[in-house]
């Protein structure tokens, strides 16, 4: 895959360890959900290295000091339904007060084109740092459409986070949205003829929610 300045692939050994368990077809729903959450929390830490801190005055038992904090109310989380829901708690671990918007997308199984069926976003989202989350970045159609929907509503500072990315989808999002940093914990080999990621982990929504 070509190199993109807005694509970040994590190479952390603990993330690799957890992704290995996540992929395993014998990993059950409960453990799968917990792993998605844990990996998301680690990715959130890593993706906030560039966050702008604001100065605050803190009184220690000894004196008053200027310290620096993340303005928490400036963060929003937007999962792409359904599977993105599995990542929300992972970001909330870091930003417990972040408002949550929802964008519903499903892939037409024949054409693989994403269809938007729901969109509800918190007021003022256009002034927040938005974490758009979806565990799977396959063809990139869903992510591109969700990013278009957020930008149409005025969002200017968006970070897209996926647990597994296929080169096809990562390139598509990176090129269509060069202003959006794309974080993937793991870059996989390719898509198969049905648009599934290889080696992948199967259908993330089904594994999170126990559907088929
Ligand atoms: C999956 C996944 C992404 C999308 C990725 O959702 O959660 O949203 O496919 O594929 P793409 O990059 O080719 O668009 P799916 O459509 O299966 O819906 P679900 O989350 O409700 O299961
Ligand atoms: N969506 C999934 O859940 N898994 C894939 O491999 C591709 C799209």
Q: What is the pLDDT of residues 55-103, one digit of tens each?
A: 999 999 999 999 999 887 889 999 999 999 999 999 999 999 999 999 9
Query: In the prediction, which pLDDT does 100 show?
Result: 98
CB proximity list for 73: less than 8 A, separation 6 or greater: 97
| Element containing residue 197 per DSSP (H, E) | strand 197-198
Decide: 191 in ligand 2 pocket, CB within 6 A: no
Q: What is the pLDDT of residues 171-208, one digit of tens each?
A: 999 999 999 999 999 999 999 999 999 999 999 999 99
* % of the chain beyond a pLDDT of 70: 100
Mean confidence (pLDDT) of the chain: 95
The distance between the two most distant Cα atoms of the chain, rounded to a whole number of Å, is: 66
Residue nearest to atom 3 of ligand 2 (CA): 203
Query: In the prediction, which pLDDT does 110 show?
Result: 85
The answer to which of 36-40, 50-54, 107-111, 166-170 has the lowest mean pLDDT is 107-111
Which one has a higher pLDDT value, 49 or 167?
167
Residue nearest to atom 10 of ligand 1 (CA): 138
Per the CB < 8 A criterion, the answer to whether 152 and 121 are in contact is: no
Verify whether residue 82 is a known catalytic residue: no
Query: In the prediction, which pLDDT does 8 show?
Result: 97
Q: What is the pLDDT of residues 101-156, one digit of tens each?
A: 999 988 888 888 888 999 999 999 999 999 999 999 999 999 999 999 999 999 99
Q: How far apart are CA 188 and CA 1, in angstroms?
A: 11
Verify whether residue 188 is a known catalytic residue: no
């Amino acid at each position: 895959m070509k190199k993109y300045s807005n694509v970040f692939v994590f190479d952390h050994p603990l993330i690799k360890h957890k992704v290995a368990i996540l992929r395993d077809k014998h990993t059950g729903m409960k453990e799968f959900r917990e792993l998605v959450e844990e990996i998301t929390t680690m990715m959130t830490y890593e993706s906030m290295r560039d966050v702008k801190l604001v100065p605050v005055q803190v009184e220690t038992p000894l004196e008053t000091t200027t310290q620096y904090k993340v303005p928490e109310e400036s963060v929003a989380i937007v999962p792409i339904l359904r599977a993105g829901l599995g990542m929300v708690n992972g970001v909330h671990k870091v930003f417990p007060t972040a408002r949550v918007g929802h964008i519903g997308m499903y892939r037409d199984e024949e054409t693989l084109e994403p269809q938007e069926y729901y969109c509800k976003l918190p007021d003022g989202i256009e002034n927040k740092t938005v974490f758009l989350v979806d565990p799977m970045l396959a063809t990139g159609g869903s992510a591109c459409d969700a990013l278009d929907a957020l930008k149409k509503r005025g969002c200017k500072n968006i970070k897209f986070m996926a647990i597994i990315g296929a080169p096809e989808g990562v390139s598509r999002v990176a090129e269509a949205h060069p202003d959006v940093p794309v974080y993937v914990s793991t870059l996989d080999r390719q898509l198969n003829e049905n648009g599934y990621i290889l080696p992948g982990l199967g259908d993330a929504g089904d594994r999170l929610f126990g559907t088929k």
